[in-house]
Amino acid sequence: MTTPIRVLLVDDQELIRLGFRLVLEAEPDIAVVGEAADGEEAVRAVAESGPDVVLMDIRMPRTDGIAATRAIVGAHPETRVLVLTTFDLDEYAFGALDAGASGFLLKDAQRAELTSAIRAVHRGDAVLAPAVTRRLIERLHDAPAPAVAHQAPELTAALTDRENDVFLAMAEGMTNAEIAGHLYLSESTVKTHVGRVLAKIGARDRVHAVILAHRLRLVDPAAPLPTDARGEASG
The answer to the question of residue 235 being in a domain is no
Q: The domain that contains 169 carries what CATH number?
A: 3.40.50.2300
**pTM of the predicted model, to two decimals?**
0.73
pLDDT of residue 17 exceeding 70, the answer is: yes
> Domain ends where: 64, 96, 127?
127
Question: Number of structural domains, the chain?
Answer: 2
137-173 tens-digit pLDDT: 666 656 655 545 556 677 788 999 999 999 998 887 7
The answer to the question of residue 233 being in a domain is no
What is the extent of the structural domain holding 100?
5-127
The answer to the question of residue 18 being in a domain is yes
73-103 tens-digit pLDDT: 999 989 999 988 776 555 776 787 788 898 8
Same domain, 173 and 207: yes
CB 106 within 8 A of CB 16: no
Q: What is the pLDDT of residue 232?
A: 44
Same domain, 101 and 189: no
Q: What is the pLDDT of residue 214?
A: 77
Same domain, 141 and 44: no
Same domain, 149 and 103: no
